Amino acid sequence: MRILSRTDVFNAIQRAKSLTEEQANEFLSKFYQNNPAIGQTFLSGFPMVIEPQSEQMSHVFMDVCFDIIYIYAQVLGELPANAVSPQWLQHKMKALENETKTQSPVDVKNNAQIELLEYIDLVIDDAVDKNKAGQGVGTLTTNLLFLVTRLFDSIYDELVPGTVH
């Protein structure tokens, strides 16, 4: 797994924030069209889990998820079309869930994208404060975004040649 540096994350976030709405929509539309299993899970399924607790936090999730997708595409390259099937994605989510349960918090942290997770924590903490959302929905949102980063690591490590460092 290639660990993203603070510079990688910061520069990609800056580029993402400088996109016009039209450019962002075009990027996301292309991503969703090329990788419907990932798009459907990350941009439809996960927000639906958050929405009953807080519609605002589901929007924050989608915004941060966009940032994550954009960061990986900018730093490690765009995914090839249909990089994963829905079955692969479900299997990998279960495997990561089991792995996380059996690892110590230190091991989980050492195998994570620390710089990206710090950004996620800052955004979610700020959103919880601003939206008066409960800590429970903030934790849920953070956990799902952590899962998104772990899934992207797995996708790039296992399925995209040349990104394992």
The answer to whether residue 164 is domain-embedded is no
**Residue 138 one-letter amino acid:** G
> Is the pLDDT assigned to residue 165 strictly greater than 60?
no
> In terms of Cα–Cα distance, which of 73, 59, 41 is closest to 147?
41
- The model's pLDDT over 80-103, given as tens digits with 9 standing for 90+, comes to 999 999 999 999 999 988 887 787
The answer to whether residue 165 is domain-embedded is no
The answer to whether residue 14 is domain-embedded is yes
> Is the pLDDT assigned to residue 124 strictly greater than 70?
yes
The answer to whether residue 40 is domain-embedded is yes
The answer to whether residue 61 is domain-embedded is yes
Q: Show Cβ contacts of residue 108 under 8 Å, excluding neighbours closer than 6 positions.
A: 100
Query: What is the CA 111 to chain-centroid distance, rounded?
Result: 15
For residue 158, the model assigns a pLDDT of 87
- The model's pLDDT over 35-84, given as tens digits with 9 standing for 90+, comes to 999 999 999 999 999 999 999 999 999 999 999 999 999 999 999 999 99
Q: What is the distance between the alpha carbons of residues 88 and 142, in angstroms, rounded to a whole number?
A: 23
Q: What is the distance between the alpha carbons of residues 9 and 140, in angstroms, rounded to a whole number?
A: 23
Q: What is the distance between the alpha carbons of residues 57 and 150, in angstroms, rounded to a whole number?
A: 21
Range of the domain at 51: 6-159
Domain count of the chain? 1
Q: pTM above 0.85?
A: yes
